[in-house]
Amino acid sequence: MSRSIKYIQTDVNGAAEGQRRRVAIIGAGLVGSLAALNFARMGNDVHLYEYREDIRTAELVQGRSINLALSQRGRKALAAVGLEEQVLATAIPMRGRMLHNVRGRTSIVLYDPCTKQCLYSVGRKQLNEVLLNACDAFPNISCHFEHKLTTANIREGQMQFKVAHEEQLISTSADLVVGCDGAFSSLRQQLVRTPGFNYSQEYIATGYLELCIPAKNGEFQMPPNYLHIWPRDSFMMIALPNQDKSFTVTLSMPFEVFAQLKTHQQLLDFFRQHYMDALPLIGEEQLIKDFFKTRPQHLLSVKCKPYHFADKALILGDAAHAMVPYYGQGMNAGMEDVTLLTSILNEQLPLDEALAKFTESRWQDAFAICDLAMYNYVEMRDLTKRLSFRCRKWLDTTLFRLFPRQWVPLYNSVSFSSMPYSQCIANRQWQDRLLHKTLSFSLLASCLVAGAIYARRLR
């Protein structure tokens, strides 16, 4: 597995010629494999260590491989390594939200009626495969699967890995250790112990579980080009289309509600009551099987700062800023980390300064998207049903249509632009102030009427 490793003398100060470093990347997920490509392109020797077996040859991926919404920030990062087209070729565009009410009626809220931008549903496994195949094409990236980081001495750049089927831990070292090892990052655990490192985590009381709406007669059972949402106050369900014409369904609800569904009958009654239209699509038997097969998963939000330690260690992606999944930005934000880092590293500053600059340029935006994701957790399950939300949405869309440059709605600036996340929030606050100040009562009233008509039409 682990090939013998050449040690390359590097210039500690890191300028020009000395740029060539031995970089260890922990985690070959979406962010780690993308980071590996970028470090290799900059001429470093990259070692990519992944706990799991190679996702490309792994026989069984537990559960169904989930799909993700890819938007502007992720696309931009993929484009930078020449992979955007390849990824989009098998992705499914989602032009808006399709809302399903309790009676099974649907209505559509387009993401961007003006410039027609959309989200793309991509399979996690397929995307990871594209990235890993690109890594294989680089002579200077070595992949080490089934290597689990157990301990690291970040001051010395020393790491120890547990290798599958082997008794003894293996030790290795690197000039720079980059943790892309996800929400429960082992490398972050080492950083937590360094003085001055701020860290907070929050579990929400909601868990999620994956279900599936299979293809029927080789066709999608619902319109494929939408992100389907069943908003139900304290809980909700969403579905994203897959390449094989199935949908991956994510049921999200408080753990206490999950706990109440103990028997097959209770589960079916619950679905008949809340997800009437989805039940026959999932199929009763399949629902029972999938629902009781696994426990609901926990969701976690993590904020920390700084993201680096001297010129020795760095964390990116979920390791640095795990968030609840309700804005569909976790992967996109993680990939944007890599875009930003690469542009800073290309400035050829001494490495410690470059890493410090990365933390300084990133933390506000990372905190902002964690907050936005938490906010959307409320919006998606609750507000999407409310008239005030639809009215605001309608106003946003109308103003966006009239002033496409000046008035970009929050969701659009987050998903379809590379505006820094913190600026997206500031922009929204500016819009709110302006609306409150300048909207006369008559305009508000007419908007309400129009909103009501619109909402009725959709119902």
Ligand X SMILES: Cc1cc2nc3c(=O)[nH]c(=O)nc-3n(C[C@H](O)[C@H](O)[C@H](O)COP(=O)(O)OP(=O)(O)OC[C@H]3O[C@@H](n4cnc5c(N)ncnc54)[C@H](O)[C@@H]3O)c2cc1C
> Which residues would be at the binding site for ligand NAG (CB under 6 A)?
43, 139-140, 196, 198, 305-306
Cα–Cα distance, 330 to 323 (Å, whole number):
6
Residue 246 contact among ligand NAG, ligand X, none, beta carbon within 5 to 8 Å by kind: none
Q: Which is nearer to ligand X, 281 or 369 (CB)?
A: 369
30-41 and 124-136 helices cross at what angle (nearest 10)?
Answer: 20
Which spans in 105-223 are helix H? 124-136, 186-192
Q: Which is nearer to ligand X, 303 or 390 (CB)?
A: 303
Residue 6 Cβ vs ligand NAG, minimum distance, rounded to whole Å: 6
Q: Which is nearer to ligand NAG, 5 or 257 (CB)?
A: 5
Residue 27 Cβ vs ligand X, minimum distance, rounded to whole Å: 3
Residues 217-276 that bind ligand X (CB under 6 A): 250
Residues 191-210 that bind ligand X (CB under 6 A): 208
Q: Where are the beta strands (DSSP E) in 290-407?
A: 297-305, 308-309, 313-315
Which of 318, 336, 365, 396 is in the footprint of ligand X by CB under 6 A?
Answer: 318
Residue 306 contact among ligand NAG, ligand X, none, beta carbon within 5 to 8 Å by kind: ligand NAG
Residues 322-341 that bind ligand X (CB under 6 A): 325, 328-332, 334
Cα–Cα distance, 333 to 316 (Å, whole number):
9
Element (H, E) at 181: none
Which of 23, 24, 30, 395 is in the footprint of ligand X by CB under 6 A?
Answer: 30
Residue 138 Cβ vs ligand NAG, minimum distance, rounded to whole Å: 7
Residue 325 contact among ligand NAG, ligand X, none, beta carbon within 5 to 8 Å by kind: ligand X
> What are residue 8's phi and psi, to 5 degrees?
-115, 130
Asked if 317 interacts with ligand X (CB under 6 A), we say yes
* Residues 6+ away with beta carbon under 8 Å from 193: none
Category of 245 on φ-ψ map: left (φ > 0), alpha (ψ -120 to 50) or beta: left
Asked if 296 interacts with ligand X (CB under 6 A), we say no
| Cα atoms in the Cβ-side hemisphere of radius 13 Å centred on 202 | 14
Q: Which is nearer to ligand X, 14 or 334 (CB)?
A: 334
Residue 429 Cβ vs ligand NAG, minimum distance, rounded to whole Å: 22
Asked if 190 interacts with ligand X (CB under 6 A), we say no
Residue 198 contact among ligand NAG, ligand X, none, beta carbon within 5 to 8 Å by kind: ligand NAG
351-381 and 421-438 helices cross at what angle (nearest 10)?
Answer: 50
Asked if 420 interacts with ligand X (CB under 6 A), we say no
# residues near ligand X by CB under 6 A: 31
Cα–Cα distance, 17 to 27 (Å, whole number):
28
Element (H, E) at 40: helix 30-41
Q: Which is nearer to ligand X, 332 or 397 (CB)?
A: 332
Residue tagged 């490509």 (tokens): 37
Which spans in 42-141 are helix H? 72-80, 84-89, 124-136
Taken in order 270, 390, 456, 96, the sign of the CA dihedral is: negative
Binding residues for ligand X (CB under 6 A): 26-32, 49-52, 68-69, 148-149, 180-182, 186, 208, 250, 317-319, 325, 328-332, 334
